[in-house]
Structure 1
Amino acid sequence: MMVQSLVKLCAREVVSDHSSSPRWLSCVPRELFPELLDAAFTHCRTLAVGELVKRWPERSLNIGARKKRGHCPPNRLCIQALLLAVGRGLTDKRCCLEVLDLRGLQCENVKAEDSIIDGWSLTVSLSNVVQAGSAASRRNGEQDRKSGLDSICGRGAIIRPRDIAGCGNIYKVGLGVEEAGKREARTNHQASAEDESVNGVRRGRIEIHKSNTTVSISDQGWDEVVVHIWTDLFVNFQSWERVLDALSQPGPVRLNCRYLRVEELSASSIASLLGLLPQEDLLEIDIRYCSLGVSGLIMLLPLLAAFPQLRSLKLLYCHLDLQYNLPNQQEALQDMCNGMRSIKGLKKLFLTALRLPDHLHMLLSQHASFLRVLDLSENWLNEWFLPSLCQLFSQAKQSLCQLSLCGCNVSDDLLEVLLPSLSSFQALRGLRLALNPLSRMGVLSLARAAAGIPSLHLLLYPNPMEEYEPGLPPMPSSGQLLNWPLVKEPEERAITKILLEELLNQRGRSHDLVVTSDLLNYSPDLCEED
């Protein structure tokens, strides 16, 4: 059991009693704020979280790093308190926060009863914070603009009503040069005093510049960014409009996205979203369950090329399904190839259920020699598609670290054709072929080839057909294999494990190569690069 430090124990006691916060908040040194905030997150002291963040003394605050340090993810209520405090800190001169890092904070597969926040809820909450800050800035800017106009009118300015709506308009002032200079000095002195006493957002102020007999007014400074929030966004059809508004509105809070995940959106909606994201920040785009079609993908690929740091592209269940009997399909295929070539620097590519296995080499030839991760799961393979796939593997054999062919209809005959290409990989660490209709002999052939890859650490093999209850069709789909019951006799299922253990012992790979058929509980960390 780890012994807590005295600082952590004291921090826990301090944040436990909110009634005492007015006393210690006024005198606690800035060096203790991180420990106090950590204690507030750990023990779910939402009021303490809000008070600390509202007065945060540093320029940056990294909440997403808590997961990397082994902490439990912050409670949902604590995150909501944090975001509310960010908005309140905009009007608190004690708050120095400029960068809030929430990257990696949200968790996937969160259940309704869980206390941690999921990606969709975090995205919606962040959008609300941005919109609230933008609305407050507009109100403050309008108040400043009106007060500036009133002060000009009080000095005898002649204002043309039709010009008031513009920015930076020139207004004639009926004052002599000497008197104007005196009033300018007094005005500047008053403005500087007001600036020092303002407790709020760096919003636009009405600046009065007199040159001889003219005054210039500009009210465009109120949308200056005060806090940058780095985060991962999860957008679907329910939250798309809200996120779009948050990204398009100027204001004191700006969202910077590292990973973008979208679900159930049309190609045009995704295009609108991509057009508002800062181009220099995005590392990964994850598009799922979107019926893009060929035309939709052709629309999006040139937009993706505008993100220079993009390293990972996921297209999951987007169902392109190119039909060769339709007119202009060859032209569409060429457009897709050109779009893929326009994207530079891809390292990870996930093309699940795109139904384009016979054109993979044509689509990915430019990226093949640089790819580290390639997922082609749920793309139905047959003997006509294998030459294109083997050609792709020959280009990627020196760089590819993870390969997934789950649910690709790989039978014993197809595996025999694939094995030479699979055996040629030089950097492969993880190989997944779950949910394929292989016999026990096919699984052993796969394991024998895997044992011959020195860099391989994980092999996820399919349950052999002999381990399923009778009744499966000769070539079952991945869905049928996933849902069909396995035989109840443990002896039948133990045969495969015994044979695999003997094979690994003979090859000297029993300690450094994990071979499993457990699709749900295997450790993907075994595939990570050192």
Structure 2
Amino acid sequence: MISRTPPALLELAVQSLLRDQALAIPALEDLPRELFPPLLTEALAQRHSEILKAMVQVWPLPCLSLGSLMERGHLDILASALDALDLLLAQKARLRGWKLQVLDLREGPQHHCGVWCAATARPSLPEVRGKRLREKTGQRMEAQQPLRVFIDVSLKDGTLDECQTYVLLWALQRKDSLHLCCHTLNIFTKSIHIMRKVLETLDLSCIQVVEVHCGWELCTLAAFAPYLGQMRNLRKLLLSHIHVSVSEDLEEESLITQFTSQLLNLNRLQELSMDAPNCLEGHLDQVMRSLQSRLHRLALTNCLPSASDLEHLSCWTSTSQLKHLDLRGTKLTNLILKPLRLLLQRVAATLETLDLEECELEDPQLQALLPALSRCTQIKNFVLTGNHFSMDVLKDLLRHTGRLSQLSLELYPAPLESYDAWGAVCPERFSKLCAELMAILRDIRQPKRVFFMCVSCLQCGYQVMYNLGLSPCRCPVPA
């Protein structure tokens, strides 16, 4: 006989209320607030629009999360919830019992925790004092706090999905009553017209992350810049493939200035990533000097910087406390690396990640950096793959970095001696050289994750790797 766990009392109460809407709706005002989150979850699952509408009007918690409606595309249920809010927003002053401060329409379970935490948490002393203050000041204070509505925004070519469009139009018509907030703005469109329509609806001061995932012309970046300058709480900015069109050549200086002048307002920026910023090559110094905040992460990837770009690398205020420096794919072969060496010395006490993959570094450049690298005592992740170093220089590198006890991930290129005259890896020679390098490292410290990587196999494209042993390519072994 199968034994079944009887349903909890809370579950029984929720199911009972949902079975009889005529009884449930009048009873909502008298329900304990702990019952509201599970009742909401079940009402959404069963698409009880009338109960949902009534719950919104008497919601007893600061946050109401309805992101699942956006995720599932339930426009009709979402419209019912917003209609209920309209009845409350239409009042000139909030009712004394109205607790709702945030409507969260972001997708994903990570945005639902606030509902449950708020339901079970006991009021703290400041909360009790705030309640007494509100009782003294009455509805005047309640009227000063606009409702905040949080939404995910991904701008793509074409039209937004139905739910996003509905919320944006709804919020636009009620700008005086609420703030439409977006934490992360992802942009996949080159149309400034689409961006303007959405950005002029959002409370730009709420945006903390902006990621541009498509190639823009410089004029698009300049047109976006005034909106960027209003994002005063921005923490992360990612730009990719910004280029100059033929028609922009004569205006290039002016357009770049329009962008850099807005960077002066980003006092809280912590992460700046620029991938293939072709139009900014030759102007990187101007960009970095415009930043007033101290960055935690700087990524300048897949670009061809000039000597003037990096000349003041170590002097920029924004790079004085870097934790993560990513220069992947940035060609450094023909540059004087003194600015990079000085920067590493300057951030030696804070730097945790250094990524120099595919920078076309050779023995002289690495040797110039070794004294500075040996001072980076906090470094945890160090990537040098895709460069060209001899066995002797790699030995010297390991001796210099051998005492960096925080290192947890090290990725090095195979020694040049691992390849034959045609550039193909010789597995036995590669394995022997790597074993020798590991022995040097173990004499100094106990390494954690250390990998030596060859270039991809010319036949199968697989990358030969050495860790505790050799990981060969996928080519069939000849009989």
Asked if the contact 2:183/2:208 (under 8 Å) is kept, the reply is yes
- 1:288, distance to aligned residue in structure 2 (A): 0.8
The aligned counterpart of 1:257 is 207
Q: SS of 2:397's equivalent?
A: helix
1:142-168 CA-to-partner distances (Å, cap 9, x unmatched) read: xxxxxxxxxxxxxxxxxxxxxxxxxxx
Query: CA shift at 1:86, angstroms?
Result: 6.3
What's the offset of the Cα at 1:91? 2.6
Match of 1:353 in 2: 302
Aligned to 2:263: 304
- From the superposition, tell whether residues 493 and 97 of structure 1 become closer, same or farther in structure 2 (CA, over 3 Å): farther
Query: Which amino acid is 1:421 matched to?
Result: A
| 2:183–2:209 Cα contact (<8 Å) kept | yes
> In the alignment, is the contact (CA less than 8 A) between 1:432 and 1:461 conserved in 2?
yes
Question: Which residue of 1 is the match for residue 444 of structure 2?
Answer: 507
Which residue of structure 2 lines up, in the alignment, with residue 498 of structure 1? 435
Distance 1:271 1:321, change over 3 A: closer
How far did residue 261 of structure 1 move?
0.9
Question: Which deviations, in whole Å up to 9, do the C-alpha atoms of 1:257-296 show, x marking residues without a partner?
Answer: 1100113223332333342354332111111122159645
Match in the other structure for 1:91: 86
**Following the alignment from structure 2 to structure 1, what is the Cα–Cα distance between the partners of residues 401 and 436?**
15
Alpha-carbon spacing, 1:97–1:264, altered in 2? closer, same or farther (3 Å): farther
Code of the aligned partner of 1:281: N
Partner of 2:194: 242
Q: Is the contact between residue 100 and residue 229 of structure 1 (CA under 8 Å) also seen in structure 2?
A: no
1:454 to 385, 394, 405: 405
Q: Secondary structure at the match of 1:286?
A: strand
Deviation, structure 1 residue 63: 8.7
Deviation of 1:234 (Å): 0.8
2:439 maps to a residue whose letter is E
SS in 2 for 1:235: strand
Q: TM-score, normalised by structure 2?
A: 0.63
Question: Tell me, what secondary structure is at the counterpart of 1:223?
Answer: coil
Distance in 1, matches of 2:453 and 2:221, equals 35
| Structural mapping, 1:70-219, within 5 Å | 77-78=71-72, 87-91=82-86, 93=88, 97-100=100-103, 124-125=160-161, 128-134=165-171, 137=173
* Residues 420/99 of structure 1: CA separation in 2 closer, same or farther (3 Å cut): same
1:409 aligns with 2:360: yes
Instruction: Say if 2:314 and 2:342, in contact at 8 Å, map to a contact too.
Output: no
Alignment of 1:280 with 2:229, yes or no, is no
Q: Could you give the per-residue CA deviations for residues 481-511 of structure 1, whole angstroms, max 9, x where no partner exists?
A: xxxx977x5x56644553454334322223x
Contact kept? 1:361, 1:392, Cα under 8 Å:
no
Pair 59,437 (structure 1): closer, same or farther in 2 beyond 3 Å? same
Q: Percent identity?
A: 21
Segment of structure 1 superposing worse, 5-14 or 79-88: 5-14
Unaligned 5+ segments in structure 2 are: 90-97, 111-151, 246-251, 455-462, 466-479
- After TM superposition, give the deviation of residue 415 of structure 1 in Å: 1.6
* Counterparts of 1:281 and 1:290, CA distance in 2: 23
2:435 maps to a residue whose letter is I
Secondary structure at the residue paired with 1:406? coil
Distance in 2 between residues matched to 1:77 and 1:7, nearest whole Å: 28
Equivalent of 1:419, from 353, 361, 370? 370
CA distance in 1 between partners of 2:425 and 2:400 (Å): 26
Q: Partner residue of 2:141? A: none
Q: TM-score, normalised by structure 1?
A: 0.58
Q: Cα distance 1:290–1:337, how it changes in 2: closer, same or farther (>3 A)?
A: closer
Q: Which residue in the other structure is 2:273 paired with?
A: 314
Deviations 1:67-114 (A, max 9, x none): xxxxxxx7983477697676445335499654345789699xxxxxxx
Question: Shift of the alpha carbon at 1:248?
Answer: 1.4
| Root-mean-square deviation (Å) | 4.8
The one-letter code matched in structure 1 to 2:206 is N
Q: State the distance in 2 between where 1:10 and 1:497 align.
A: 62
CA, structure 1 residues 101+517, in 2 after alignment: closer, same or farther (shift >3 Å)? farther
SS at match of 1:415: helix
Kindly indicate whether residue 34 of structure 2 is the aligned counterpart of residue 31 of structure 1: yes
Mapped contact 1:60–1:99 kept (Cα < 8 A): yes
Counterparts in 2 of 1:308 and 1:21: CA distance versus 1, 3 Å: farther
Check whether the contact 2:222–2:256 (CA below 8 A) recurs between aligned residues. no
Is the 8 Å Cα contact of residues 55 and 96 (structure 1) preserved in structure 2? no
The residue type equivalent to 1:283 in the other structure is R
CA deviation profile, 1:424-452 (whole Å, cap 9, x unmatched)? 22332222222222345544443333322
Answer yes or no: is 1:230 the counterpart of 2:182: yes
In the other structure, the counterpart of 1:60 is 63
Matches within 5 A, 1:8-23: 20=19, 22=21
State the SS of the aligned residue for 1:234.
strand
Name stretches of at least 5 consecutive residues in structure 1 with no aligned partner: 65-73, 108-116, 138-221, 323-331, 473-484, 523-530
After superposition, give the CA deviation of every residue in 1:162-210 in whole Å (9 maximum; x if it has no partner).
Answer: xxxxxxxxxxxxxxxxxxxxxxxxxxxxxxxxxxxxxxxxxxxxxxxxx
Amino acid at match of 1:256: C
1:168 equivalent in structure 2: none
Residue pair 2:43, 2:51 contacting (<8 A) in 1 also: no
Supply the distance in 2 between the matched residues of 1:54 and 1:518 (Cα, whole angstroms). Answer: 62
Are residues 459 and 247 of structure 1, via their aligned partners in 2, closer, same or farther at CA, if it must alter by over 3 Å? same
> How far apart are the structure 2 equivalents of 1:302 and 1:344?
11
